[in-house]
């Protein structure tokens, strides 16, 4: 009854949120928010290159994001600049190069706003197929690598000493993030993708006792945000990406109302172990 495009966007968004929730938990636990932003910004370069080489956009974005992750790992090994500075260089230079390339593509009209902030009209049946195919793949990988990923998050030394391979987990995690960015770009937009990873996870923290619970709650909250955001976008005629993020933010603010003494993990924000 809303027309095909809306149900497509809704179904795609729900699939997306279900994947972004659990993955976003790792982004929060491992403090990779800026890293996620960097990969997301490189997505525009992926878009431009895809048009130049006429390959599938989702594939191009995944390729470039994975490449950025790989360069970061290599640059970190050189260790002359801090990770923070390296991310700053990669993030903005890939965005800039992407924008310059888009400027060169005079014979093709690219909806820049659509790629930056998401466009629910842009979700095609193919995209839906990619989201669910890719999403199931990502979730399967996450389940497979859950224990080593979590162990490496708690303590790389411990994971290593007991025969798990933290460096491999880290690479898997980066590839998964590149995949999520690639499949979520059309709906949420380059500039806002990481919020779909971070905000539901941050909201879920206050409601969870175990990592697994946090992943599940985060997925559920993400789905709620997508549904709320897309309906809002439809009725208020706002861009889909920002609308979803605003919905996620509202859920986060609501979670802050949970009284502190009812929180699990007791001590709250400054209750880190010494």
Partner 1 sequence: MRELDGASNQLVRLNGVAVARGRRTLVSGIDLSIARGEIVTLIGPNGSGKSTTAKVVTGVLRASRGQVWRKPGLRIGYVPQKLSIDWTLPLTVERLVTLTAAFAPHEVEAALRAVGAAHLKRAAVQDLSGGEFQRVLFARAMIRKPDLLVLDEPVQGVDFAGEIALYELIREIRDTTGCGILMISHDLHVVMAETDTVLCLNGHVCCRGTPDTVKASPEYRQLFGARAAETLAIYQHDHSHDHGHHHHEHAEVDADVR
User: Residue 274 in 3-state DSSP?
Assistant: coil
DSSP string, 32-90: -HHHHHHHHHHHHHHHHHHHHTT--HHHHHHHHHHHHHHHHHHHHHH-SS-HHHHHHHH
Which of 5, 6, 29, 231 touches partner 1 by CB under 8 A? 29
Does position 144 bind partner 1 by CB under 8 A?
A: no
CB of 100 to partner 1, least distance (A): 37
Q: How far apart are CA 196 and CA 22, in angstroms?
A: 11
Q: For the chain, give me the number of helices (H) and strands (E)?
A: 11, 0
Q: How far apart are CA 9 and CA 153, in angstroms?
A: 34
| Residues in 196-225 at the binding interface with partner 1, rule: CB under 8 A | 202, 205, 208-211, 213-214
Does position 76 bind partner 1 by CB under 8 A?
A: no
Does position 20 bind partner 1 by CB under 8 A?
A: no
CB of 273 to partner 1, least distance (A): 5
Question: For residue 215, with 0-12 CB atoms within 10 Å meaning exposed, 13-18 middle and 19 or more buried, which class applies?
Answer: buried
CB of 27 to partner 1, least distance (A): 10
CB of 143 to partner 1, least distance (A): 13
CB of 215 to partner 1, least distance (A): 10
Which x/- pattern over 88-107 shows residues binding partner 1 (rule: CB under 8 A)?
--------------------
Which of 1, 74, 109, 163 touches partner 1 by CB under 8 A? 163
Which of 112, 139, 160, 220 touches partner 1 by CB under 8 A? 160
Does position 259 bind partner 1 by CB under 8 A?
A: no
Which of 50, 153, 203, 243 touches partner 1 by CB under 8 A? 153
Q: How far apart are CA 47 and CA 56, in angstroms?
A: 9
Does position 264 bind partner 1 by CB under 8 A?
A: yes
Q: Which is nearer to partner 1, 92 or 209 (CB)?
A: 209
Does position 260 bind partner 1 by CB under 8 A?
A: no
Does position 274 bind partner 1 by CB under 8 A?
A: yes
DSSP string, 209-252: SSHHHHHHHHHHHHHHHHHHHHHHHHHHT--HHHHHHHHHHHHH
In b/e form, how buried is each residue of 117-151, taking b as 16+ CB within 10 angstroms?
A: bbbbebbeeebbebbbebbeebbebbeebbebbbb
Q: How far apart are CA 212 and CA 166, in angstroms?
A: 19
Q: Which is nearer to partner 1, 6 or 29 (CB)?
A: 29
Does position 180 bind partner 1 by CB under 8 A?
A: no
Question: For residue 272, with 0-12 CB atoms within 10 Å meaning exposed, 13-18 middle and 19 or more buried, which class applies?
Answer: exposed
Does position 158 bind partner 1 by CB under 8 A?
A: yes
Q: Which residues of this chain interact with partner 1, rule CB under 8 A?
A: 28-29, 31, 147, 150-151, 153-155, 157-164, 202, 205, 208-211, 213-214, 264-274
């Amino acid at each position: 009854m809303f027309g095909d495009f809306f149900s497509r966007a809704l179904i795609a968004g729900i699939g997306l949120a279900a994947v972004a929730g659990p993955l976003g938990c790792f982004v929060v636990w491992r403090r990779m928010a800026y890293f996620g932003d960097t990969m997301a910004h490189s997505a525009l370069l992926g878009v431009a290159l895809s048009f130049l080489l006429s390959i599938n956009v989702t594939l191009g974005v995944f390729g470039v994001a994975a490449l950025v992750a790989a360069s970061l790992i290599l640059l970190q090994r050189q260790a002359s600049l801090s990770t923070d500075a390296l991310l700053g260089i990669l993030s903005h230079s890939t965005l800039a190069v992407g924008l310059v390339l888009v400027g060169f593509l005079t014979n093709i009209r690219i909806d820049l706003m659509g790629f930056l902030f998401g466009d629910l009209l842009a979700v095609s049946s193919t995209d839906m197929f990619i989201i669910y195919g890719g999403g199931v793949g990502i979730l399967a990988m996450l389940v497979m690598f859950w224990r080593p990923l979590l162990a490496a998050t708690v303590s790389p030394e411990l994971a290593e000493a007991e025969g798990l391979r933290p460096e491999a987990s880290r690479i898997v995690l980066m590839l998964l993030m590149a995949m999520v960015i690639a499949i979520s770009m059309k709906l949420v937009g380059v500039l806002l993708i990481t919020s779909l990873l971070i905000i539901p996870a941050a909201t879920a923290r206050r409601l969870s006792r175990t990592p697994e619970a946090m992943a599940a709650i985060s997925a559920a909250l993400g789905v709620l945000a997508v549904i709320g955001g897309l309906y809002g976008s439809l009725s208020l005629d706002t861009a889909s990406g920002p609308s979803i993020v605003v919905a996620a933010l509202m859920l986060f603010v609501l979670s802050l109302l949970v009284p502190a003494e009812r929180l699990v993990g007791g001590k709250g924000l400054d209750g880190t172990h010494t």
